[in-house]
Amino acid sequence: MDRRGPLCVGIDPHASLLADWGLDDTVEGLERFSRTVVEAVADRVAVLKPQSAFFERFGARGVAVLERTVREAREAGALVVMDAKRGDIGSTMAAYAEAFLHRDAPLRSDALTVSPYLGYGSLRSAVETAREHGAGLFVLALTSNPEGAEVQHATGPDGRAVGAAVLAHLAAENAGERPLGSFGAVVGATLGDLSRYDLDVNGPLLAPGIGAQGATPADLPRVFGAQIRQVVPNVSRGLLRHGPDVGALRGAATRFAKEIAAAVARP
């Protein structure tokens, strides 16, 4: 982030966006879209975040496109966060972690989004796999979708909000790591004042919601406070709508990166 600016670009090739780009809702359209995004920004933004579901819906050929997207993005120097939001128990969670985090896996990514809502302990095998293979996790904690509040703001048996308990677990995972640990939280940029939550997990905070969901870079200091420099703001539709022109995508990425850098006071 210091070298390239604190920006994560989502790769979300849903049908309506393919249509906006003049592409067919086919594997060929999917591949054209994904390769254009990688060509435009993978050598200049810090993080790319492909949404696995939009590739999986095309079956094996779509997953093959996802494999190439991940490989080419990493070869261009970007970190890749696989947005798959996996959450399960035991050997199933271990298999998900191996699929996305094992250093020899075709879909090997730098980090994976996971859900802790079968209990944080259900993620233990994913944490262990990430540590073993030099990868990380982004754990859903306080998400930008309105429905999340009924679970994440609910009070657990210990009197803490469920989202606060998730943050505390992540702080424990990252204890003593410098400059940051590899176990981050997903915290929506649209949520407003979060001062009642301790966001200092000593790890990155992936912040969706900028652009189409209504948040702006200027909102980040108010939401994240003292942890602003740990934030990895995510922009998807707000940037992708500038395609399919490569130059327009690059220009949009540059503008977002500069606005975010100014908001979080990065040089």
Give the model's pLDDT for residue 213: 78
3-state secondary structure of 104: coil
Catalytic residue among 14, 85, 222, 242: 85
Q: How far is Cα 99 from Cα 102, in angstroms, rounded to an integer?
A: 6
Give the model's pLDDT for residue 51: 98
Please compute the mean of the pLDDT values over residues 205-226 and round it to a whole number.
Answer: 91
- Encode burial over 2-28: b for 16+ CB neighbours within 10 A, e otherwise: eebbbbbbbbbbbeebbeebebebebe
Give the model's pLDDT for residue 249: 98
Q: Please indicate whether residue 258 is annotated as part of the active site.
A: no
Please compute the mean of the pLDDT values over residues 138-152 and round it to a whole number.
Answer: 95
| pLDDT tens-digit readout, 197-215 | 999 999 999 999 887 778 9
| pLDDT tens-digit readout, 10-21 | 999 999 999 999
Average pLDDT over all residues of the chain:
96
Domains recognised in the chain with CATH numbers: 8-263 (3.20.20.70)
Report which of 83, 134, 93 is spatially closest to residue 113, judged by C-alpha positions.
Answer: 83
| pLDDT tens-digit readout, 55-73 | 999 999 999 999 999 999 9
